Structure 1
Amino acid sequence: MAGTGANGRQLKGGYRATVKTVQLARLLYTESVRLLDLYKERESFPQTAVSGDHLVSVPRPAPQLPAGERVWLVHTALGQCQGLLDRAIVLEDTELGLPGDKENTEYLSQRKVVKERLGHLLQSTKSLLLDGGATATVGTGQERTVEPDGGLFALKVWIYRIIQDVVYWTNMASETLPMAPVEAVNETRKMARNRRKGKRVGRR
């Protein structure tokens, strides 16, 4: 049974698929935190977070939104994360030129893992949405991808913020997805009850 959101976003209602997606999101969250830690160590960033707005422009899924809409927002945000991370990797390799020492080898290996699993999570969340989210278009994060022009340090901070966004949205996925199928079914049943109630009122 599918659940319908206010804007027509529908979930397929696959509990098994949702469980696998949640497991992937939690694994990717752990891997992303590790990547952020390695980046901090490599660039000698402080333990405190770099200030600034999220680069991903998708709003946080509000609890009152229908389940399908919240999953769609997470999926869209992950798409923007992917676009940002891909661009960050290109600039990091071309502008910073990482040496091939042990520290950077571990970082590059972790970066590859996060990149690949982010792509898998994006496809997995898409599979939870009926027709991939209908007319939904996954953003590329272009609203806030203006690349820094303040030198290498500004570029390093920008890359740091991108990894932070990956951490944030993979955690959001692991928190949002577990109950989505149950909520979608409940929403569908409530809509059906309201329709039946409306028909009874109309016949009076």
Structure 2
Amino acid sequence: MAGRGTNGRHGLRGRAGTSAALARLLHKECIQLLKSYRNSESLPSSPVEGGHLISIPPLVPQLSDEEKISILHAALKECLRLLEDVITREDEEFPDEDSEYKRLRKTVRDRLRHLLASTEQMMVDGQKFEAEVKEELDGQATGGSFGLKMWIVRVFQELVHWTGQTSDALSSLPAEKEKAPVSQRTRRGAGKLRK
């Protein structure tokens, strides 16, 4: 187990850059998805109140990078579940509709799955964190059509928030920025010396 932990830290360095780029792209697409949904439903651009739907253990400075990634992974997992609930409900209501919004929604879902797989490989062996969803989609069913729309906006706000948090956490990993480019330069330099 100890040997694998060392590889895990090496793996964290190696995957962080790719995962950070993926998280940044996904974060931008989540912002676009929220905007696209508001436009398609003629909803105001101001945030829907009510606090975060998803809660996680606090990301305190004492946590290792791997632990922070594990906690954010748990939040992203709940984001995916909520997004899939939204997709199911919307597709039941409008099964034949094809739109730019629906295509973007599918892209976000697929990329979120990819980011989850990527961050899972960076997590601490055997250490799992749980994220809690404070309010479920079924609790909003009594609000009618408008209540459902507000719920969907809140889910998309969660996507924007947690993909942003993950992007920031992955981008701030010092090991990737400092050590990976050095090793690449060394390899390139070695190649030139041989010639």
Contact preservation (8 Å) 1:38, 1:107? yes
- What residue number does 2:15 align with? 17
Match of 2:171 among 178, 181, 200: 178
Residue deviations 1:79-98, cap 9 Å, x none?
0101111111111222x426
User: What is the CA–CA distance in structure 2 between the aligned matches of 1:61 and 1:92, rounded to whole Å?
Assistant: 34
Question: What root-mean-square deviation, in Å, do the aligned CA atoms of Structure 1 and Structure 2 show?
Answer: 2.5
Residue 105 to residue 146, structure 1, CA distance change in 2 (3 Å):
closer
CA deviation map 1:51-85 (0-9, x unaligned): 11211122452334322221111111000101111
Please list the CA deviations of residues 148-182 of structure 1 after superposition, one character each: whole Å capped at 9, or x if unmatched: 02111111111111011011111101101123363
Select 2:122's aligned residue among 115, 118, 128.
128
- Name the residue aligned to 1:108: 102
The amino acid that maps onto 2:123 is: L
**Secondary structure at 1:144 match in 2:** coil
Q: Which residue of 2 aligns with 1:39?
A: 37
The count of corresponding residues between Structure 1 and Structure 2 is 169
Maintained 8 Å contact 1:81/1:166? yes
Mapped to 2, the partners of 1:51 and 1:115 lie a distance apart of 24
Equivalence for 2:179:
none
Find the aligned partners of 1:98 and 1:44 in 2 and give their Cα distance: 20
Matches of 1:58 and 1:137, distance apart in 2: 8
1:118 partner letter: L
Supply the distance in 1 between the matched residues of 2:29 and 2:151 (Cα, whole angstroms): 19
Establish whether residue 81 from structure 1 lines up as the match of residue 79 from structure 2. Answer: yes
Q: 1:89 aligns to what SS in structure 2?
A: helix
Distance change in 2, residues 1:11/1:165 (3 Å): farther
Q: Which runs of 5+ in 2 are unaligned?
A: 177-195
Structure 1 residues 45, 98: closer, same or farther in 2, change over 3 A?
farther
State the TM-score, normalizing by the size of structure 1: 0.74
1:150 to 136, 143, 155: 143
Letter in 2 for 1:150: G
CA contact (8 A) 2:56 2:130 kept: no
> Residue 111 of structure 2 corresponds to which residue in structure 1?
117
Q: Structure 2: which amino acid aligns with 1:54?
A: H
Any conservation in 2 of the 1:82–1:115 contact (CA below 8 Å)? yes
% of aligned pairs identical? Answer: 37
Instruction: Tell whether the 8 Å contact from 2:70 to 2:129 is kept in structure 1 after alignment.
Output: no
Assess if the C-alpha contact under 8 Å between 1:57 and 1:144 holds in 2: no
Q: Which has the higher helix share?
A: 2
